[in-house]
């Protein structure tokens, strides 16, 4: 008993009387007799979420905080209660556990009323029942309104953050586009001059110089291709990827892509098989865009498959519910595979799996990194045709090499 605040059960009874107005004298006595008095200093927990409900509490002095634990680091503040407030009755009425944690917000004195006495009195007293009902309804409404207000506020903050992100993304896209444009011209000139130097008979005669110039030509070419890819991506981002359709043969495009990789496939002992493509009708599409799409898919299969692996490109005519009749081309490899958490994100610009710093810079060497643009361009090109593209893989494993598969569906109806 807190001698300063309550010196007898009579004191407790007199404290409870106005709070439980209308309660019979005997009932009031029973509650007061069963009550124990406890002091808590600021921050101390009075009852824990998840504990069994074996008592009802009333704040006699001070204030308490009602809190719900969201996860290990976050809690939600449900409300604050002052003198005369009851808490903890919900768990008793439901025969369950505490749904929230209650903590002293300052130095606090609490009356703890035994569960059985509380239920006895409640069984006899309609006035206590009604009082509890009214209080619980008000509390539910208060919690409800608080939750709605918090949701609205969170929503407003999310919208603001999204708008800011969109502005930043646009600024980044503008910067990328302008710099790629500006840099492509001098790089094209560099590439041209390097080729002129290479073709110069004097250079060809000086031993050792030829391989140096070859390095210059290759690097300038690579830079040129990177800037072209960046420009393609910026077109995808701004929705300016124009499409110029002419009747074309998908197998011819695929064979064209395959022939550019002939040498590296041989060097790395990779097989590239094509199946089922002869059944495709002529397709009305943009050969430049489709070449790019399949170039990046096959280039990736080469990059992410260890030497000696297999790449298969196969086609079939399919009926897709949302797209109608389509031609479907799958590029499948026996490479390192893709983690399921990244499988959708890899189509985002500049997205690469793992530590970018560890990627090597070769375009066709095993795990040779690029700038993370190929799949964004491939998706942009496929979507410009009204089609869709996605990846499937059992997971990532450099030892077992479960492989990946990229599926492209091009609708015949949107031609």
The Cα 331–Cα 313 span in angstroms is: 5
Among 108, 117, 177, 301, contact with ligand ADP (rule: CB under 6 A)? 301
Stretch that binds ligand ADP, among 40-48, 191-199, 281-289, 328-336 (CB under 6 A): 328-336
Tally of CB atoms within 10 A around 242? 9
Among 370, 380, 386, 387, contact with ligand ADP (rule: CB under 6 A)? 370
Helices 25-34 and 9-19 meet at what angle, rounded to 10? 120
For ligand ADP, what does the binding mask look like between residues 339 and 368, x meaning CB under 6 A? -------x----xxx---------------
The Cα 315–Cα 409 span in angstroms is: 10
Among 53, 88, 372, 386, contact with ligand ADP (rule: CB under 6 A)? 372
Which residue's beta carbon is nearest to the bound ligand ADP?
370
Tally of CB atoms within 10 A around 349? 21
The Cα 274–Cα 87 span in angstroms is: 72
Closer to ligand ADP by CB, 351 or 390: give it: 351
Closer to ligand ADP by CB, 24 or 273: give it: 273
Among 304, 327, 343, 382, contact with ligand ADP (rule: CB under 6 A)? 304
Stretch that binds ligand ADP, among 64-72, 85-93, 109-117, 294-302 (CB under 6 A): 294-302
What SS3 state is found at 132?
A: helix
Comparing CA positions, the residue from 7, 21, 10 lying closest to residue 84 is 21
**Residue 168, both tokens:** 């930043």
Within 8 A by CB and 6+ apart from 257, the residues are 291, 294, 295, 298
Shortest distance (Å) from residue 201 CB to ligand ADP: 38
Closer to ligand ADP by CB, 92 or 311: give it: 311
Report strand pairing: 246-248 vs 283-285: antiparallel
Among 315, 374, 380, 387, contact with ligand ADP (rule: CB under 6 A)? 374
Q: Does 336 bind ligand ADP (CB under 6 A)?
A: yes
Determine contact, residues 214/198, Cβ cutoff 8 Å.
yes
Interacting residue ranges for ligand ADP, rule: CB under 6 A:
296, 300-301, 303-304, 333, 335-338, 346, 351-353, 369-376, 404
């Amino acid at each position: 008993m807190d001698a300063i605040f309550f010196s007898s059960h009579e004191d407790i009874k007199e404290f409870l009387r106005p709070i439980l107005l209308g309660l019979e004298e005997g009932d009031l006595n029973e509650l007061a007799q069963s009550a124990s008095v406890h002091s808590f200093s600021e921050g101390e927990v009075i009852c824990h979420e998840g504990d069994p409900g074996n008592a009802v509490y009333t704040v006699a002095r001070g204030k308490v905080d009602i809190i719900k634990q969201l996860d290990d680091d976050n809690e939600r503040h449900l409300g604050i209660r002052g003198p005369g407030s009851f808490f903890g009755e919900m768990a008793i009425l439901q025969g369950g556990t505490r749904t929230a944690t209650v903590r002293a917000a300052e130095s606090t004195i609490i009356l703890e009323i035994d569960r059985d006495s509380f239920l006895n009195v409640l069984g006899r007293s309609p006035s206590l029942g009604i009082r509890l009902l009214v209080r619980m309804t008000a509390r539910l409404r208060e919690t409800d309104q608080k939750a709605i207000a918090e949701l609205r506020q969170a929503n407003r903050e999310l919208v603001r953050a999204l708008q800011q992100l969109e502005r930043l993304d646009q600024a980044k896209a503008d910067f990328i586009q302008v710099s790629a444009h500006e840099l492509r011209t001098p790089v094209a000139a560099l590439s041209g001059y390097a080729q002129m130097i290479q073709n110069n008979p004097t250079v060809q005669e000086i031993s050792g110089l030829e391989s140096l110039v070859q390095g210059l030509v290759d690097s300038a070419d690579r830079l040129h291709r990177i800037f072209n890819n960046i420009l393609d991506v910026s077109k995808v981002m701004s929705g300016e990827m124009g499409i110029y359709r002419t009747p074309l043969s998908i197998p011819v495009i695929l064979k064209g892509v395959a022939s550019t990789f002939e040498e590296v496939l041989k060097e790395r002992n990779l097989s590239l098989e094509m199946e089922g493509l002869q059944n495709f009708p002529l397709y009305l599409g943009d050969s430049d865009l489709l070449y790019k799409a399949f170039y990046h898919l096959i280039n990736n299969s080469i990059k992410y498959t260890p030497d000696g692996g297999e790449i298969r490109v196969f086609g079939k005519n399919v009926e897709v519910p949302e797209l109608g009749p389509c031609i479907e081309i799958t590029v499948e490899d026996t490479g390192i595979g893709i983690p399921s958490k990244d499988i959708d994100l890899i189509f985002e610009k500049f997205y690469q799996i793992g530590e970018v710093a560890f990627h090597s810079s070769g375009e066709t060497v095993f795990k040779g990194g690029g700038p993370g643009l190929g799949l964004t361009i491939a998706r942009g090109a496929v979507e410009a045709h009204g089609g869709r593209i996605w990846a499937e893989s059992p997971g990532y494993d450099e030892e077992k090499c479960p492989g990946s598969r990229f599926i492209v569906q091009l609708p015949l109806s949107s031609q």
